[in-house]
Amino acid sequence: RRGIPRLARACASANPHDAFMTDPQVEESPTALDPEIAPELAAEIAEKKLAKSRRHARLGYPILRALVATWRTEWRGREHLAFDGPDVTPAVLTTWHESLLPGSFIARDHGMAVMISKHGDGEIIANVMQRIGYQPVRGSTSRGGARALAAMLRIPLSTVLVMTPDGPRGPARTCQAGTLMLASKSGRKILPTGLAASRAWHARSWDRMIVPKPFAKVVLFTGEPIDIPPGLMRDPEAVEYWRKVVTASLDDARAQAAAIVAGRA
């Protein structure tokens, strides 16, 4: 019973690389023992962890796809997005980190770009995301944030970006400034998106990632676009104002999705 959420998190964690972050205690212990042999031990540990992650990905992906196939899914607010043609929407599809796993499958096959770690296990996650129709952008807002942001800004406006404003480390459901900066600098609208499921597991992680159970009703709800003004980051008070606006919009989108699941909307 606990295996499915674990495999799911291994296969598709928004930043998805969180599921494979190296335990800092493992990294530190060899160095503390003997500086001469530390590199060899560290390399051996890293290789073993990478091999284990690959096994999990190979096993987990088919299981996850089989699970997803049982869900009864609906995407409300899809009309706010145009993925091709003359009316393509320059947008940042924004959702809480807890919703990334099921949401990425519901909104798959549209060529959206999502940020994934450049470290070893990120390669596995990038391959999984490519298989469901995403463009992986290698980087992390927590490691080399300026470089990762620059990579996202180079993506054409015709490609919708995916961001989790409370990732990759939390606190959960707390909007950080990175998504605002990306929207402000790129001229993209923020599309607040929430998710709810009739029955779900929750991962034992900071974000309590949602893993809908077999045959659950799963609803993705995208609210009205939010226009973030250019030059926002020069005004700390404006940043705080828009941070609250986006947070409230994400919470409302989540509540709307829950109401649809419950048959109240």
DSSP 128-173: HHHHTT-EEEE-BTTBSHHHHHHHHHTS-TTSPEEE-TTTTT--TT
50 Rama class: left (phi>0) / alpha (psi -120 to 50) / beta: alpha
In the chain, the number of structural domains is: 1
Nearest CA-CA partner of 89 in 169, 184, 156: 156
Domain that holds residue 182: 68-261
| In a domain? residue 33 | no
User: Using alpha carbons only, what angle is made at residue 132 by residues 72 and 64, rounded to the nearest 5 degrees?
Assistant: 55
The answer to whether 136 touches 126, Cβ cutoff 8 Å, is yes
Please report how the helices 177-186 and 236-261 are oriented relative to each other, as an axis angle in degrees rounded to 10: 100
Q: Please, which residues have CB within 8 angstroms of residue 26's CB and are 6 or more apart in sequence?
A: 45, 49
Condensed to tens digits (0 to 9), the pLDDT of residues 27-64 reads 334 444 455 556 666 666 656 665 665 665 666 788 88
| In a domain? residue 98 | yes
125 — pLDDT class (breaks 50, 70, 90)? low
In terms of pLDDT, which residue wins out, 263 or 2? 263
- Structure confidence at residue 20 (pLDDT): 29
| In a domain? residue 39 | no
**Burial of 215 (C-beta count, 10 Å sphere; 0-12/13-18/19+):** exposed
| In a domain? residue 89 | yes
What is the spatial distance between Cα 211 and Cα 199, in angstroms, rounded to a whole number?
9
Condensed to tens digits (0 to 9), the pLDDT of residues 173-203 reads 999 999 999 999 999 999 999 999 999 999 8
Q: What tokens does 135 get? A: 């463009």
> Looking up tokens 């091709």, which residue turns up?
84
pTM: predicted TM-score of the whole model, two decimal places: 0.79
**Dihedral angle, C-alpha 100, 18, 124, 39, nearest 10 °:** 170
Answer yes or no: is pLDDT of 204 > 70.
Answer: yes
| In a domain? residue 30 | no
| In a domain? residue 22 | no
The answer to whether 101 touches 129, Cβ cutoff 8 Å, is no
| In a domain? residue 155 | yes
The answer to whether 218 touches 71, Cβ cutoff 8 Å, is yes
Answer yes or no: is pLDDT of 21 > 90.
Answer: no
DSSP secondary structure letter of residue 198: S
| In a domain? residue 13 | no
